[in-house]
Amino acid sequence: MTPTAVPTDVRTLANHIGGTWTPSTTTQTLEDRDPATGDLLALVPLSTSADVDAAVTAARAAATEWRRVSPIVRARAVARLRDILDEHRDEIAELVTRDMGKTLPDATAEVARGIESCEAAVAMPHLLKGENLEGVATGLDVEMVRQPVGVVAAITPFNFPAMIPLWFMPWALAAGNAFILKPSEQDPLPGERIVELAISTGAFPEGLINLVHGAHDVVNGLLEHPGVDAISFVGSAKTARYVSTRAAEHGKRVQALGGAKNSMVVMPDADPDLMTGGVMGSSFGAAGQRCLAGSIAVLVGTQAEQDRSRELIVQAASKLKTGAGIDPQTDVCPVVSPAQRERLVRDIDQAEADGAQVVLDGRGDAGPGGCTLGPTILDGVAEDHKVAVDELFGPVLTFVRAADLDEAIAKVNSSRYGNASVIFTESGGAARAYRYGVEAGMVGVNVGVAAPIAWFPFSGWKDSIDGDLHANGNDAVEFYTRKKVVTSRWAA
C-alpha cells in the first residue's frame, strides 16, 4: 500500500459517481500490477464511506427516474451496451490479459461471455411479464407484476474482471434498477473500461451506473448502507459467507457466489483426446483461477486403468507452455500476484512434506512479475489433506482414485463445495448416473469447463453459494425484481 505518495506517471483511478469521474476522498491506494511483467498499471483508491454514500445517493435518484422508463427502451439501452462492448471486445480482452494475466484467447472468450449476458438481458420485456387470474371470486381479478428492487451493488472477484461485472450490470439495468460496481482491487481496469463504454452510449441517465474502487471498507459501506437494496457478490467462500450474513443483517436481498473444489471423474472408457483436452483446459487454463477449474481428477477403474489415465494426463500437462498471457504460445498464464504464487508454493511444499508425490512440478522460475507457476500434479495425497479439500486457485491438480463410479460419486459429493463437476466417459449410462447423482450446480459430460450460457442460471450448490438465486437466466429476473400482487374489484 502507498499511503500518500502517488507517482506522477501512473494514474490513480477515479470513481464514477452521479455521471462524473470523481477522485476518491481517500489518499490511500493499492498498487495494480501486470502479473506477467510486474509493471505498475494503476493506483487503486481505497475509497471511503463518503464515496460510497455519494454513489448510493446518485443511484437512488437515478433509480426513481429509470423505473419509469419503458422496459422496451431499457432493453434497447442494454442492446447499445452490447454493441459498444462488441466494438471494443479486442481492446477489453487485451486489458483483461494485462491486468489479470490470462491468455488473450481466454480473455477474448471472457469478454464474449460478458457480451452474451447483455444479449440474454435484452429479452427483459418478455421476461418481466407477470401473471394474472381472472374471476377468482365474483368480479375479483388477481394480477402479479414485477417491479425493480431499486439500487443494486455488485462486488466482484479478480478472476473474471470483465465477465462477472457483466453477469450483473445488464440484467439489473434492464430490470429497471440503478447499479453500483465495486470491482476487484486486484484488476479493476476492465470493469472501469466497461463502465466508461456504457456511459459513452448516452443510453443511461446520469447516476444510474456508478463505480466505486476499493476493498473491504467499500464492501462494508455497501453492505451497511440503507440506500442499497440488493447485493450481487462473487468471490471466495469465506467472503461470500461474510457478505451474505452482513447483507442479510442489514435487510438486503443477497446472492453470494462462493468458491469451489471441482472434481473431474475419469472413467476407464473415456475418449483419450476429449479427456486430456478437457482436463488440461479445466485444470490449467487461466492457471487454475476459475471457479469451474477442475482441481481433482478422480481416476476410476482397476489399478492399471487408473494408471493409464494418470499417464495420459501427466504427459499432456508436461507439454503445456507456461508464460505471459500476451504470448500466443502460452498455455498456462501467471497467477494473479506474487502473494498468490507464494501461497500456492507453500501448499505444494506442505503436501510434499506430508508424503505426496509431486508428479509434475511447476515450482520453478517465478518469472519477471513473480507470478509464474507451472502446471503441478500431486498424487498419493491423503484425501483429507488441505490440497485435496480446499480451493487452492492455481494450476495444481490432485489425483484421487476410485474403484467404480459409485465410489467416485461418493468421493465427489464428500466435498463441502458443489460448484461444478465433470465426467469423462463414452458410456451414456455412466454419464446419466453421474449427472443424476452428483451434488453440483453445473455438470459437464466430456466438457472440462461446464460454464452455462447466459440464458441459464450460473452457480453451484452447498458452500459454493450463499443465497438461493444464481446469476444470469431467469434467476437474474427473480433477483432483480420484486413481485407485487394486485387484487381488484370494480363496480359493474
Which residues of the chain form contacts with ligand NAD (CB under 6 A)? Answer: 155-160, 182, 184-185, 215-216, 219, 234-236, 239, 242, 257-260, 291, 391, 393, 419, 459-460, 464
For ligand NAD, the closer of residues 116 and 185 by Cβ is 185
Verify whether residue 291 is a known catalytic residue: yes
For the chain, how big is the Rg over CA atoms in Å?
23
Bridge partners, residue 471, by sequence = 458
**What is the 8-class DSSP label of residue 46?**
-
For the chain, first and last CA: distance in Å? Answer: 71
Q: What is the DSSP string of 342-377?
A: HHHHHHHHHHHHTT-EEEE---S--TTTT-----EE
What's the min distance (Å) between Cβ of 342 and ligand NAD?
A: 15
What's the min distance (Å) between Cβ of 340 and ligand NAD?
A: 8
What's the min distance (Å) between Cβ of 200 and ligand NAD?
A: 24
For the chain, the helix, strand and coil percentages under 3-state DSSP, each to the nearest 5: 40, 25, 40
Q: Compute the distance between CA of residue 27 and CA of residue 200 in angstroms, rounded to an integer.
A: 28
- Cell 486486484 belongs to 186
What's the min distance (Å) between Cβ of 166 and ligand NAD?
A: 13
Mention every residue, 6+ apart, whose C-beta is less than 8 A from residue 346: none
- Amino acid letter, 462: K
Cα–Cα distances (Å) from 139 to 144, 299, 484, 486, in that order, read 17, 65, 20, 14
C-alpha cell belonging to residue 267: 472413467
For ligand NAD, the closer of residues 77 and 344 by Cβ is 344
For ligand NAD, the closer of residues 77 and 240 by Cβ is 240
For ligand NAD, the closer of residues 222 and 299 by Cβ is 222
* Neighbour count for residue 403 (Cβ, 10 Å): 13
What's the min distance (Å) between Cβ of 187 and ligand NAD?
A: 9
What's the min distance (Å) between Cβ of 9 and ligand NAD?
A: 26
For ligand NAD, the closer of residues 89 and 182 by Cβ is 182
C-alpha cell belonging to residue 356: 505426496
For ligand NAD, the closer of residues 54 and 212 by Cβ is 212
The dihedral of CA 148, 149, 150, 152: what is its sign? Answer: negative
- Amino acid letter, 81: L
Active-site amino acid positions: 291
